Amino acid sequence: MSPHRPFRSWILACAGSALAACAGASGASRPATYGGQELSPPRDAGAPAAAPALAAEPRGTKAYLALCAGPAHSALQVKLWEGDALTPVGGPVPSNGRCAPPSLQLDPAGQPVVAFEEGGPDHARIQVRRWDGSAWRAVGPPLIQEAEERASSPAIALGKGGAPWVAWEESRGDAILVLVARLDGEVWRPVGRAVNGSPGPAGTGTPALALDSTGAPVVAWQDGRSRTVRISRLEGEEWEDMGAPLQEPGATVGRAPALALDPAGYVLAAFVLERGAERAVPVLRWDGRSWGEVGEPIPAGQAAAAVSRPALATDRWGVPVVAFPRGGAVPALLLSRWDGDGWSDPNQPIDGDAAGGVSPALGVLGDGTVLVGWQEPPDAARSRVRVRRGAPAPRAVAPAWRPDPDAPAEGGEEQR
């Protein structure tokens, strides 16, 4: 790992025993720790199916699940998850007979907005559609910068008033650009130049996107040259690195980044770290000046050619939870939650007896209920999408994050 400022250099206003005291003072109690044994039995959300995405109401009771369904996984479906029921939202989302992993968010009215790849494997493009209560409506024209190239791996975030921003990767022959656009009326406007500056080699891309508390876009992406995970933020019209790459170049490989925001608007990142034959999932948090480690990296088994992006979310109190595959002879999908002092140990695989779950997706409802979806087995020809939910957690006082007053400033006014 890079010499990030460790998370223990941060002060938790309500941590450990102090958290219980804070909660007791308000008549609430600390949210229950999530682990495999806390979740409901797995249930099928679609078969055959693959590539789930989840979006939950942060202060509500509903969530939406998007997945690629059908014998060839060619139909994009979205389902409402409320209570124990999964209900289709309209018919299949028009996707031109192609479905690759979608990205899903909820607009201010709680309606789902989905970004996805459509078209053939050589000339795919990105589409965005919004559910208006009766049908799936196109949001702007298809997204692609060069019509003869291939756009893929979309990530969507919604800004003020529900205006969408999309990051994606786009081919330039055998090389790749990471691009961002925002909707301006009914037209997509490019946001800066390519996030990665110039076309990168294979292994570049896989963007994740979030909007920070100021509304500025933040993109996490794989740098195929240095084999690192980098995070960039738009400053004016230029993309600027947010600190150094998230891990030490050369000695390690960083892959498959994920982003989330805590309730205060601070950015959290998770990714797959490979050192030799071993894998781990570090979680870091941007304090406005540098990246700080949220506990120790979580062990994730053995490295492999295939990689699945970890899923990262926070509840309304700011407590992060992460789901990730464990590699090795006994693969499994695991779930871990920050308990104020460290990451909880997963007590059992959340994919149950059918080990080998991949492509995890997470959502957390307003009462702290965690929702998790995944694909199993990894073999797309036989895969299905399964879901589980945790028992609602008691309401609790938020762990309040604030910088260590003894930590030296690293220059510049703090920006979230």
Q: Encode pLDDT of 239-256 as tens digits.
A: 999 999 999 888 899 999
Give the whole-angstrom CA distance, residue 18 versus residue 12: 9
Q: Which residues contact 101 (CB under 8 A, 6 or more apart)?
A: 51, 53, 68, 117, 153, 359
Residue 362 has pLDDT above 60, yes or no: yes
Q: pLDDT digits over 37-57, tens only?
A: 467 888 899 889 999 999 999
Q: Residue range 127-140: average pLDDT? A: 96
Contact 244, 223 (CB under 8 A): no
Query: What is the distance between the terminal CA atoms of the chain, rounded to a whole angstrom?
Result: 23
Is the model's pTM score more than 0.85? yes
Contact present, 190 and 179 (Cβ < 8 Å): yes
Confidence of residue 119 (pLDDT cuts 50, 70, 90): confident
pLDDT value for 41: 81
Residues facing 249 on adjacent strands:
252
Residue bearing the bigger pLDDT, 414 or 334: 334
In what helix (H) or strand (E) does residue 23 lie, and over which residues does it extend?
A: helix 17-25
- Going along the chain from its start, the domains and CATH numbers come out as 5-329+347-372 (2.120.10.10)
For the residues 399-409, what does the mean pLDDT come to?
44
Choose the weakest-confidence range: 17-26, 168-177, 373-382, 385-394: 17-26
Q: Tell me the mean pLDDT in the region 348-375.
A: 87
Tokens of 264: 């205060």
Residues 57-87 pLDDT 10s? 999 999 999 999 988 888 999 999 998 899 9
Is the per-residue pLDDT at 229 higher than 70? yes
Q: How confident is the model at residue 273 (pLDDT cuts 50, 70, 90)?
A: very high
- pLDDT classification of 330: cutoffs 50, 70, 90: confident
pLDDT band at 347 (very low <50, low <70, confident <90, very high): low
**Does position 21 have pLDDT exceeding 70, yes or no?**
no
Number of alpha carbons in the 13 Å side-chain half-sphere of residue 253: 16
What is the arithmetic mean of pLDDT over 95-111? Answer: 91
Query: Any idea which residue has 């939650």 for tokens?
Result: 337
State the pairing for strand pair 278-281/238-241: unpaired
User: 351, 326, 376: which is closest to 39 by C-alpha?
Assistant: 351
Beta bridge partners of residue 129, listed in sequence order: 114, 138
Number of Cα atoms under 13 Å in the Cβ half of residue 131? 25
User: Residues 346-373: what's their mean pLDDT?
Assistant: 85
Q: Are 65 and 87 in contact (CB under 8 A)?
A: no
Report the alpha-carbon distance of residue 61 to residue 205 in Å, rounded.
34
Percentage of the chain with pLDDT > 70?
Answer: 83
For 27, the token pair is: 């008549």
Q: How far apart, in whole angstroms, are the C-alpha atoms of residue 363 and residue 373?
A: 9
Provide the strand spans (E) within 309-400.
Answer: 311-314, 320-326, 332-337, 358-364, 370-376, 384-389
